[in-house]
Amino acid sequence: MPSQSGRTYWISRAILLGWLTIGYNLIEGLVSVFFGVEENSIALFGFGLDSFVEVFSAIAVLWRFRTELADKEIAAVELAKERKATWVIGGLFLVLATSTAIVSIYQIATGRHPETTLPGLIISALSLSFMFFLWKAKRKVGLAVDSKTVLQDAACSMACIQLSLVLFAGSVTYLVFPALYWVDSAAALVLSVLIAREGLGAIRAARSEHFTGGCCCDCKAD
């Protein structure tokens, strides 16, 4: 374990990474939703909405650090609030997954498709780069201070990388083979499954008697 001064340094790094995650996801969400609507891309639109929900997950991590520094009585109250918030976040993920799946099926059935998936390609490529950086940085900090919260947050960044990979693959495929009009909607369906997994993971965590707060996705901090 690091010294107290060393631990303070690493915790400040973790908090900084948390704010970077929030800021990036807000920008990514706004840009993705805008271009998703403009280009009629349900995959990009769903990806953007997921980014907004991820913001709440990142806020939960910052909240958890506040709880860890509080006395036991205050920590218990704050953890109970965080458990309720995790329920809500899990529900939001499930609503988003369901609506994304329904719209995707409708798009495929009606033959609707985006004009181009270039915005999705660019956004997902940037997301892959930045989220990989965040994942490595959070893993380093989490191991340095032996923090399950930070390691869980790193696992959530890995979940975001998986979402970005799906969007990237779908965008590239449609750009190369535009005749495959259903590719964007198919990618959105895969995204809906991954988002639903996050939602179910959050709800399972909130129901667990071993709930410790932090990340809201179905992840393990090994």
Please tell me the distance from the alpha carbon of residue 182 to that of residue 108, in angstroms, as a whole number.
6
- Report which DSSP code applies to 218: S
Q: Average pLDDT of 36-42?
A: 91
Q: Tell me the two tokens of residue 127.
A: 């997301």
Within 10 angstroms of residue 67's Cβ, the number of other Cβ atoms is 19
User: Which of 59-73, 116-130, 164-178 shows the lowest per-residue confidence on average (mean pLDDT)?
Assistant: 59-73
User: pLDDT-derived band of residue 54, with 50, 70 and 90 as boundaries?
Assistant: confident
Which residues neighbour 190 within 8 Å (Cβ) at sequence distance 6 or greater?
166, 170
Q: What is the tens place of the pLDDT at every residue in 181-215?
A: 899 999 999 999 999 998 898 888 888 887 766 55
Smallest CA-to-CA distance from 152 within 93, 200, 209, 211 is with 211
% of the chain beyond a pLDDT of 70:
85
Residue-wise DSSP of 95-133: HHHHHHHHHHHHHHHHT---S--HHHHHHHHHHHHHHHH
What was the pLDDT predicted at 196? 92
What was the pLDDT predicted at 88? 82
Q: Top-level CATH class of 4-207?
A: mainly alpha
What was the pLDDT predicted at 201? 87
222, pLDDT greater than 70: no
Q: What is the tens place of the pLDDT at every residue in 76-127?
A: 666 777 778 778 878 888 998 999 999 899 889 988 888 889 999 999 999 9
Could you state, in order of their start, the residue ranges of all structural domains in the chain?
Answer: 4-207
73, pLDDT greater than 60: no
